[in-house]
Amino acid sequence: MVTNRVWRVCCVCSAALLTISTIVLLFISLFAGRRCPGGAFQRAAVSADSLLCSQIGSKMLQQGGSAVDGAIAALLCTSVVNPHSMGLGGGSVITVKDKTGKVKVFNSRETVPQYVQTDLLKSCPTKFPFALGSKWIGVPGELRGYEAIHKQYGRLPWSKLFEPTITLAREGFPMPDFLGHLLSEPLLQHLVRSTSICEVLCHKNKTVLSKGEMLKFPKLAETMETIAKEGADAFYNGKIGLDLIQDIEAAGGTLNMEDLRSYKVRVDDAWAVPLGDAVMHVPPPPFGGALLAFILKLMEGFHLTPQSMDAEQKIKMYHRYIEAAKFANGQRRSVHDPAFSDEKSANHLIDPQFIDRIRGMISADGTHSSSYYNVTPSSDTVGTTHLSVLDQDGLVVSATSTINQIFGGGVYSPKTGVILNNELSDFCGRADTVRSGERPPSSMSPVILESKSGGILAIGGSGGSMITTAVALSIINHLWLGMNLRDAIEAPIVFVDAKNNVTFEREFDKSVIDGLSALGHNVVPRKYFFNVVNALEKENGCIVAVTDRRKMGESAGY
Ligand SMILES: *[C@@H]1O[C@H](CO)[C@@H](O)[C@H](O)[C@H]1NC(C)=O
Ligand SMILES: *[C@@H]1O[C@H](CO)[C@@H](O)[C@H](O)[C@H]1NC(C)=O
């Protein structure tokens, strides 16, 4: 009898279990099988500068890695696919939003070395765009940055993140299209040929490699292998560091082992800035988040809508935007390493009262002389990479990394295969002195935007001084002007340079340019634009991952 009843209970139980699991399975298949429209991904995605690196990042996620694992693997890959943009000899800023909703900023920006040339800023470049040579090298923070975020959010073993890039660097790969395109420019061919980078980017006869030819980084492969095995300490406190310092010394630099040993990553809370019904998380100074937020808050008050793009309205809107960018130029000097200046020196940039006051100074029908915007002239810079990664568990990474200008300062370390940054030139025009340990101000601004409905937008850009306008316009286009994410990023930009001259990307609406000239803006031609924006957005369970065609990138995911 008893056994009978047990049997019956069991039967009921298993029937119930079966029903529940059927329902669960049905749900899973319903949701997993749900198609996201137009190439959107369902679970996770990586938007890096190149398809190859997006795929390497995405593969890490598929193998159980977190968004941080994917980001590190994709960054390492980018260091060989776009070696002119970033690498182990540089630094980065990585904004991470975890499951609890906390948003942290990992600051592994380069620092001023102990024995820096005291009158360094006297040799800031004025005419030629590049600051070349070893005196501009800052203490690289890149690997300490990876180490810190991996320790906190990584799921895969550290060494695994290096594997795909070690293979690429050792076995070689065909010259990527974008790099090939860059290296076909006479200016850059000259740069490569006249620096030690020629060792990896030239034939034996010193002609620069071109499209279709194989690119190899054998020394870097060895270096990465050691770091994969021994950790970042091999670079900061071991053999690789010693080799690197010897090479820098041979190139006339003053960086020493103590600089490397004492390098520390800084972790800060992101600034949370309300924007419409969203919250925008941006990195605090010395990064570009404050100026980006300042421009967006100024523009928010003009209540833009898709109609703002109608003929007459469009000139008015861009006029206001250009004025906002001029005021932002006037504020560039208030962004500094908080550890070396008034910690609150940039806080006014997101203060509603200050923003309202400045907005009131934007005239509807004209522009002003430079002093009106409190502008001190400074130089503009170029370079960098950005990537955004989102994983299945909701970890979001927005990472910008750089060796500063194209190929940094043109210093290559033959013993380690590392290309060194020229980050100290970022002080030019924005500071009067450099102090050892200080991090130079930067336009880099990896953003994470969170909407009230739970939508996520991870966005950021590269292109030095152009980052701010590239990211600001992409956000304005997408949030307020009704463009989808791809159109928002691809729309041609206006760039207000450090002298408040206004330049437009080639495809920019000619009639608007004429209208803006008539309002008094000093429109000048510009040959090169380096702005590149990568982003991904998750909304209603689908991830749209967009990479900028300007750098021929493509995203990957699943
Ligand atoms: C340099 O070497 C490469 C590869 O061997 C060759 O294709 C190229 O024609 C050479 N260029 C000159 C100017 O000799
Ligand atoms: C930009 O503006 C400055 C001052 O307004 C002017 O002297 C300079 O010639 C302009 N630069 C270019 C490239 O036109």
pLDDT digits (tens, 9 = 90+) for 342-399: 778 899 999 999 999 999 999 988 999 888 888 555 566 667 899 999 999 999 999 9
Domain ranges of the chain: 175-215, 272-380+445-541
Closest CA to 245 of 424, 423, 418, 437: 418
Catalytic residue, candidates 195, 367, 384, 385:
384
Q: What percent of the chain has pLDDT over 90?
A: 79
Strands, E assignment, 67-191: 91-97, 103-108, 173-174
CA–CA dist 243, 87 (Å, integer):
17
Give the mean model confidence (pLDDT) for residues 542-548. 95
CA–CA dist 149, 154 (Å, integer):
7
Residue 491 has pLDDT above 90, yes or no: yes
Within 13 Å and on the Cβ side, how many CA atoms surround 413? 27
Q: Where does ligand 2 bind, in terms of residues with CB under 6 Å? A: 499, 501, 522, 524
Q: Where does ligand 1 bind, in terms of residues with CB under 6 Å? A: 203, 205, 207
3-state secondary structure of 507: coil
Closest CA to 89 of 145, 139, 150, 144: 139
CA 313, distance to chain mean position in Å, is: 32
> Which region among 23-27, 84-88, 473-477, 538-542 has the lowest average model confidence (pLDDT)?
23-27
Residue found under tokens 């890149």: 142
**What is the structure's pLDDT at 2?**
46
Closest CA to 141 of 349, 439, 554: 439
If you measure from the C-alpha of residue 407 to the centroid of ligand 2, how many angstroms do you get, rounded to a whole number? Answer: 27
**What is the structure's pLDDT at 383?**
72
Residue 1 has pLDDT above 60, yes or no: no
CA–CA dist 298, 558 (Å, integer):
38
**What is the structure's pLDDT at 163?**
98
Residue found under tokens 């690196």: 53
**What is the structure's pLDDT at 212?**
86
What global pTM score does this model have? Answer: 0.91
Residue 431 one-letter amino acid: A
> Which region among 225-229, 267-271, 545-549 has the lowest average model confidence (pLDDT)?
545-549
CATH no. for 272-380+445-541: 1.10.246.130
Residue found under tokens 């960098």: 384
Q: Which of 175, 207, 214 to mutate to test the pocket of ligand 1 (most atoms within 8 A of CB)?
A: 207
Q: Looking at residue 95, what DSSP letter applies?
A: E
Closest CA to 271 of 292, 254, 250: 292
Does residue 517 contact residue 371 with C-beta atoms inside 8 Å? no
- Ligand sitting nearest the alpha carbon of 207: 1
Angle at which helix 158-171 crosses helix 51-62, to 10 degrees, equals 150
Q: Looking at residue 139, what DSSP letter applies?
A: B
Q: Which two tokens stand for residue 435?
A: 């102090």
Atom of ligand 1 nearest to the CA of 203: 2
Give yes or no: 384 in active site. yes
Residue found under tokens 């065609």: 549
Give the mean model confidence (pLDDT) for residues 428-439. 91
**What is the structure's pLDDT at 378?**
57
In this structure, the residue with its CA closest to atom 13 of ligand 1 is: 207
CA–CA dist 485, 290 (Å, integer):
23
147-185 per-position pLDDT tens digit: 999 999 999 999 999 999 999 999 999 999 999 999 999
Angle at 334 between CA 329 and CA 338, to 5 degrees: 140
Does residue 367 contact residue 520 with C-beta atoms inside 8 Å? yes
Atom of ligand 1 nearest to the CA of 206: 1
